[in-house]
Structure 1
Amino acid sequence: MYVGDPQLTASQVLRTFHHDELYLFLGAAFTAVGLVSIAFAFLGRKFDAMLFWLALFAIFYGQRLWLHLGLLTLIIPPSHFFDDLRAIGNYLVPIPAFFYFEAAGFLGRSGRKIAIVLTSVFLGLAVATMLFGQRDAFQLTNNLVVIVSLFALIIQSFTRKQADKDFVIARRGIIVFVIFALFDNIGGALGYRWFIEPLGFTFFLATLGYVAAKRGLHRDQQFNALQKELEIARRIQTSILPPAYPQSPHFRVAARYVPMTAVAGDFYDFLVADQTQAGLLIADVSGHGVPAALIASMVKLAATSQRANAADPALLLAGMNTVLCGNTQEQFVTAAYVYLDAESSTLRYSAAAHPPMLLVRSGNVIELTENGLMLAAFSFATYTTAIHPLEPGDRLLLYTDGILEATNAQGEEFGSSRLHTLLKKAANLRAEDAAASILSSLEQWSSRSQNDDLTLLVCDYLCANTPSQSASLPGLTATPA
C-alpha cells in the first residue's frame, strides 16, 4: 500500500512512522555529519582524504537508510525502478567505506589495491542491476563479499603491530559496526531481514567523532604551542638585529625589516657605527621560516667574528664565507656590505650575489655592483672591494630581493625600474620617511600576500670634511680580498 491507496488508513501511516522514526532521525544525522565532514575535508589547511571518504560513507549510508524505510514505500508507488534503486544503494555504500579503511590504515600495505578490487566488484553489481534489474544472485554476491571483507577487516585490525589509543578506540567502533553488519548480512544470506546495522554504524560514527574531537583538540594545543614558540623565536631574532643607528653628524640611517612569517631569513647589522664611520651589512638566506632564521643567526655570528675587517668589505665577506661554508645545510646566503668613511669621503663596497646597491646623487639613481659568489656555497669564493667617492647629499639604498620580486595581481614583478623611480620621488624626504614611502608603495603595488621577506637600509651622507668629489664617480678602484 501507499498513500494513494484508498484502503490505507491513518493508523497504518502513524504505525509505520513510529516504526521508522528512529531510522528517519539516524538517516538525517548521518547525512548531516557527512556534509559537515566533507566541508572540513576541503576547507582545512590540507585536504584530508580519510575525512573525505568517511563523509561519503556517512552520506551514502544515510541515504541508503532512507531508501529502505517503510514510510517511503507509502509515498512512492511500487515499481521495479525503486526496487533497483534500493539495491544499487546497497552496492554503492561499501565503496567509500573501504577507501576510508584504506586511508585510515586498516587494510595494510595493499590497502589501495584491495579497495580498488572491491570497488570494481560493487560497481559491477550496481551496473548489472541497472542493466538487468534486481537479481537474488546479485544480492547474495554482495552479502558474501561484504561478509568476507568484514571478517578480513577485523583480523587485519588485530594484526597491526603498533596501535595507539586512538586506533584502539576506532577499532572498537569498527568491530561493533562489523558485528552488526555481519548479523544483517548473514541473516540476509539466509533469507532473514533484520535491520540493526544502523545502530552499529551509529556507535562507529560516535567513536570516530570522539577520536576526531580528541585529535582536533590535540592539534589546537600543538598549534598554540607552536605559535608561542614562534613568538619567542621572533623576539629572539628581533633581538639580534641592531637598535636604531646612533646620532651622527655625518650619517642618517633608517632600517625596515618585514618578515614574511614570524621569523625570517633576512638580516642586517651595523658593524661600525661611530661619528665618522659606518659599516652597513645586509644579508638574505635562501628559503623562509625557521630554517632560514636559524642560518640568519649564524650570519650574525659570522659577521661579528669579522668585525676586525670592517674597513675592508672584500676581506669581511671572505671571512664570513669561511665561517659559513659547510654549516648551513646546503642553504646559501647573499650579502652586501658597505663601509663609509666621512674623513676620506669615500665608500667601500662589496657583495656576494646580492642585488646592487643604489646611490641617489643629484636626482640620478646609480647602481653600484661589485658581486662575488654567494656565501656558504663555495669555499674558494673570492671578493673584491669597489671604492667610490662620497658627496654631501648622497643617499644609499641596500635591500633584499623581496623588494624587486614582489608581484601584483597580474604576476608582474615590482622590478628595479620602479624602485629607481620611487627613490627619485623620495629624494627630498628624510631617510626614515623615504624607507616608509618605499614599503608603502610596495604594499599598494602587491595586492597578493607577501611572498618573501623584505628588508631595506637607507643611508644619507650629510657632509664631509674634505671638498666635494665629482658626481661622475670617477676612478673606480677594486681591491681583491
Structure 2
Amino acid sequence: MIQILLKILLIASVLLSFSCETPTPQDFTLLHGNWEYVWGRNLDSANLAKGKQEWQVFQLPGVPNDRNGDDYLLIRTFLPTYTDYRDPALLLLIILEDFEIFLDGESIFKFGNPHSVNERVGSYIFPHVITLPTENQGKELRIYIHSKYRDFIGPDRIIMITEKGQIMESILLADMPRYLLGCLYFVLAIISFILFILSSGNMIFLYYSLMVLFNGGLTITASYLAMNFFENPNIPVYIYNFNLFLLPVFLYAFLGEIYKGKHRTIFKTGILVYSTYFFVATTLILVFDFGILNLELIFDAIILIGILPLLYIIVYNSIKGDIESRILLSGFIILATCVTHDILADFDLIAYKISIYWYGMFFFLFFQGGILFRRLYFIQKNYELKENELLVAKRIQNSILSPFPDHVTNWEFTSIYEPMKEVGGDFYDILIDDEGNIGVIMIDVSGHGVAAALIASMAKVSFSHCQNILSSPDKVMFEMEKSLKNKMNNHFVTAFYLSLSSTEPLVQFSSAGHPSALLVSHLNNEVTEFRTKSRPIGIMDKSNFQKSYLYLNEGDLICVYTDGVTELNDPSSVEYGSTRLADLLLANCLLPLPIIKEKLMQDFRDWTRDVNIQKDDDLTLILIRYTGQIT
C-alpha cells in the first residue's frame, strides 16, 4: 500500500514539473515596449474611452512609478498593424485589479467595476483572456484600471495578442497537473482522516488531513478554470487566500504533535498567532473591504517570523539525531529554496519563467507524510506486538483456570468462560481438601483487559492458600480479602464461594457483592436465588463476611455466574436477565450438563443475534449438579 502511494506521489511530482509555468502559445505578438499613461488625478473623464489626455510614457513590462497614492490609472497603446489571427484574443497575465478595456473608444471587456469608489475591489491576480474583433490592426487599446493594492497598479509581466484557441489550450495544459496534484492532496486528506478515525482519534492524522486538504484547495483554486468558475470573481480569491491563511495553523498543530511534550509554549503561541491573524484578516477583508493583496506583506512577515522558531526546533532536534526532525529538515530546505526563488523573481532579481513554490510545498508535505507513514508503521508494529502479548496472556490465563474433575463422588461440573477481550477479569477455581470436600470460587474483577486479569491471577494465588479451610466459607472470603488488600489499585472484586460436602448433600456458601446463585430443583419445579450479604472485596478495609447453607435433593442443579451473563444485550439493548436464565435452566435441568451448556450458548447467540456472542463484559458461568443419594 505504501509503495503504491509513493509511486503515485513520484508520478505527481513529475507532472508538477510541467505545471505552474507561464502559458505560452505557439504564435503570439507581445505588446511590450512604450505605453502611455495618465493617473486618475490628471484624467479628463470626458475622454476616458477616446480623446485627448495628458499622456506620459512608461515601459511594459513594468508599471508607472509616480503613483503618489492614486488608485486609478488609464494606459494605452496601439495594436500592431501586421497581425493576422483568425480568432484573436488579448492575454493579460496579471493586472491589478478592476479594469475596463476600450478599443477605438468602444468598451469590449469589463472586470469588476473600475468606475466605482465604494464597491469592493477584487484581488484577482490570474490570467484574463479577452476576445478581440478580427479587424483590430492599428486600433487604439485603452485599459482603465482601479486598484487598492499599495505596491503597484496596472499590468504585470505579459500582455500579448494570440489565437484564442491556442492560449486557452496553453492555460489548460499548464493547469492540468495542478488539478491532478490537488486531487491527490484530497485523496491524502481522506486517507489521513480515515486513519484518524481508525487510530481512535490520534490528532496527528487529523492535522495532516486538514493541512493537505487546505493545500489541495490552494492548489486547485490557483488555476484559470477555478478562478473563472464562479460568477463573482471574489469568491475563488477568498477561497484561495483563506486556505493560505489556515495552512500555518495546522502546520503548527501537526508539528506540535510530532514534538509532543516538547516546546509546548512555542507551538501553542504559533497556533494562537496564526488563528488570530486568520480571524482578523477575514474581518478586514469581508467587513472593512481591506484588499487581500494589502495583507500580503503582513502575512509574509508573520510567516517569516513563525518559521524561525520552527527551524530552530527542527535543526536542534536534527543535531540531536532525531530521524523525524532530519526528514522535516530535508523538506523544509526544499520548500525554502523554492520560496526564495519565487521571492527573487517577484523582485525581478532573477528571470521569471516558472513558479516553483508548488514544488516546495509538495515535497514539504511529502516528507511530512513520510513521517506520518513511518509512525503508522510503528503503530502497526506495536499493535501486532500487543496482540501477540495478549494472546500469550490469554493462553496463560486459560492455563490457570482449573479444569473441573471428571469423576467426583456425588457431584458433576461444567463451565462457560468467554472473556470480553483476549484476557478478562472473570475467574473461577476449584480445590479439594484431604477429606474430599470441594471448594469452588467465582470472582469478577472490575474492569477488563490485562489489569483485571492480573488481579484475577493474584486471586487464584490467594485462593490456593485456603486449602485447609475449604469447609468454612466465611474464613475463605476473609483470607481472600486479607491477601488482596491494597493490591488492586482502585479495582474491586465480587466473589461467590461454595463448599461442597463429600459426605452429605450440603452446600455452604458465602458471597461478596456477587450476583445471586440459582438453585434449580426439578422435584419442586422451581428456581431459588441464594447468596449472603456483603460488600465487594476492596470497597472497605475490612468486611464482615457471612456464611449460609443449603441441603440438596438428588439431581438439583446450582448455577453460579457473573453479571456479564444477565447483562448480555440484544440488538435493542435489552438485557438477557436472570429470569430468562432461570427459565431455560428449569426447562432443561434433567439433561446432561454438556447439553445444558450448549443450549445456554445457543440461547446467548440467539439473544445477541451474533454467532460470536457480542459482549459488553466478561461472560462466566458454572453449573454444578448433585448426583448422590440423600442420607
The Cα of 1:3 is off from its aligned counterpart by: 6.7
User: 384, 388, 403: which one pairs with 1:224?
Assistant: 384
**Is the CA contact (8 Å cut-off) linking 2:425 and 2:452 kept in structure 1?**
yes
Q: Could you tell me which of 583, 587, 596 is aligned with 1:425?
A: 587
| Residue pair 2:409, 2:502 contacting (<8 A) in 1 also | no
- For structure 1, which runs of at least 5 residues remain unmatched after alignment? 467-481
Number of the residue aligned with 1:392: 554
- Larger relative contact order (Cα-Cα within 8 Å, sequence gap ≥ 6): 1
2:332 is the alignment partner of 1:206: no
- Give the aligned residue type for 2:295: F
**For the Cα contact (< 8 Å) 1:38–1:51, is it kept in 2?**
yes
Letter in 2 for 1:144: A
Aligned residue type for 1:170: L
Number of the residue aligned with 1:416: 578
Paired residue for 1:67?
221
Q: Which moved more, 1:439-448 or 1:117-126?
A: 439-448
Q: Provide, for residues 61-114 of structure 1, a one-character-per-residue CA deviation record: whole Å limited to 9, x for no partner.
A: 222223323565688899455555544443344343333333333893222343
The question of whether the paired residues in 2 share the 8 Å contact of 1:249 and 1:275 is answered with: no
Match of 2:312 among 135, 155, 171: 155
Aligned mates of 2:179, 2:230 — CA distance in 1: 16
Tell me the equivalent position of 1:446.
Answer: 608
Q: Provide TM-score, normalisation by structure 2.
A: 0.67
Fraction of identical pairs, as percent: 23
Deviations 1:188-242 (A, max 9, x none): 5889976222111122122123222222222222222222211111111111112
Q: Could you tell me which amino acid in structure 1 is paired with residue 574 of structure 2?
A: E
Contact 2:557 2:626 (8 Å CA) reproduced: yes
Partner Cα separation in structure 2 for residue 78 and residue 318 of structure 1: 81
Query: What are the superposed Cα offsets for residues 159-216 of structure 1, whole Å, 9 maximum, x if unpaired?
Result: 5597632233124323432443455457658899762221111221221232222222
Q: Is contact 1:98-1:115 (8 Å) kept?
A: yes
Q: 1: CA distance between counterparts of 2:232 and 2:347?
A: 24
Q: Is the 8 A contact 1:64 1:89 kept in 2?
A: yes
Structure 1 distance, partners of 2:386, 2:203, is 25
Structural RMSD (CA): 3.1
- Mapping 1:28-177, distance limit 5 Å: 28-42=183-197, 44-70=198-224, 79=233, 82-83=236-237, 85-105=239-259, 108-110=263-265, 111-131=267-287, 132=289, 134-159=291-316, 164-177=322-335
Q: Cα 1:390–1:438, aligned 2, differ >3 Å: closer, same or farther?
A: same
Structure 1 residue 273: deviation in Å? 8.4
Compared CA separation, residues 267 and 216, structure 1 to 2 (3 A) = same
CA 1:348–1:135: 2 relative to 1, 3 Å: closer
Contact 1:260–1:454 (Cα < 8 Å) also in 2: yes
Compared with structure 1, are the counterparts of its residues 84 and 383 closer, same or farther at alpha carbon in structure 2 (3 Å cutoff)?
closer
**SS at structure 2 position matched to 1:416:** helix
Measure how far apart 1:142 and its partner are.
1.8
3-state SS of 2:412 partner: strand
Partner amino acid for 2:417? Y
Cα distance change of structure 1 residues 330 and 60 upon mapping to structure 2, 3 Å threshold: closer
CA distance in 2, matches of 1:374, 1:419: 23
Correspondent of 1:318 among 478, 482, 485: 478
Q: Distance in 2 between matches of 1:84 and 1:304?
A: 74
Partner Cα separation in structure 1 for residue 328 and residue 252 of structure 2: 15
The letter of the residue matching 1:262 is: E
Q: Does 1:348 align with 2:508?
A: yes
Q: 1:144 to 1:262 in 2, by over 3 A?
A: same
Q: SS in structure 2 opposite 1:372?
A: coil
Q: Give the superposition deviation at 1:318.
A: 1.6
Contact 1:333 1:374 in 2 (8 A): yes
Aligned 1:18-33 pairs, distance under 5 A: 18-33=173-188
Matched, 1:265 2:425: yes
Partner residue in 2 for 1:234: 394
Question: Secondary structure at 1:119's aligned position in 2?
Answer: helix
- C-alpha displacement of 1:18: 4.4
CA contact (8 A) 1:92 1:123 kept: no
Residue 9 of structure 1 corresponds to which residue in structure 2? 164
Name the CA distance, whole Å, in 1 between partners of 2:237 and 2:401: 74
Distance 1:135 1:407 in 2: 58
Shift of 1:294: 1.1
Equivalent in the alignment of 2:406? 246
In structure 2, the gaps of 5 or more residues are 1-90, 92-127, 133-161
Alignment of 1:256-335 (within 5 A): 256-272=416-432, 277-335=437-495
Q: Compare CA radii of gyration and give the structure with the larger one.
A: 2
The residue identity in structure 1 corresponding to 2:468 is: A
1:128 aligned partner, one-letter code: L
Opposite residue 338 of structure 2, the aligned amino acid is F
- Secondary structure of the residue aligned to 1:460 is strand
Asked whether the 8 Å contact 2:214–2:244 carries over to 1, the reply is no
Compared CA separation, residues 342 and 136, structure 1 to 2 (3 A): closer
- The change in CA–CA distance for 1:274 and 1:421 in structure 2 (over 3 A counts) is farther
SS in 2 for 1:247: coil
Deviation by residue 1:366-399 (Cα, 9 ceiling, x = unmatched): 1112233333554532323212212112111111
Superimposed CA distance per residue, residues 394-419 of structure 1 (whole angstroms, 9 cap, x where no aligned partner): 11111112112223334333332232
Aligned counterpart, 1:473: none
1:322–1:376: 8 Å Cα contact kept in structure 2? Answer: no
Q: Do 1:170 and 1:207's aligned partners in 2 also have CA atoms closer than 8 Å?
A: yes
Match of 1:382 among 512, 526, 544: 544
**TM-score, reference length from structure 1:** 0.86
Pairing partner for 2:629 from 451, 464, 469? 464
CA contact (8 A) 2:440 2:497 kept: yes
Q: Which moved more, 1:18-27 or 1:432-441?
A: 18-27
Are the counterparts in 2 of residues 257 and 455 from structure 1 also a CA contact under 8 Å? Answer: yes
1:350–1:370: 8 Å Cα contact kept in structure 2? yes
- Check whether the contact 1:325–1:378 (CA below 8 A) recurs between aligned residues: no
**Whole-Å Cα distance in 1 between the matches of residues 233 and 532 of structure 2?**
85
For 2:23, the equivalent position in structure 1 comes to none
Q: Please state how far the C-alpha of 1:304 moved relative to its aligned partner.
A: 1.0
Q: CA deviation at 1:429?
A: 2.4
CA distance in 2, matches of 1:80, 1:367: 76
- Kept in 2, the 8 Å contact 1:250–1:275? The answer is no
Q: Quick check: which one's strand share is greater? A: 2
Q: Residue type matched to 1:419 in 2?
A: L
Name the aligned partner's letter for residue 66 of structure 1.
I
> Which of 591, 597, 606 is residue 435 of structure 1 equivalent to?
597
Choose 238-247 or 77-86, whichever is displaced more: 77-86
Q: Aligned partner of 1:442: which letter?
A: F
Matched-pair contact (CA < 8 Å) for 1:404–1:416:
yes
Seen in structure 2, the aligned counterparts of structure 1 residues 92 and 337 have a Cα distance that, compared at 3 Å, is closer
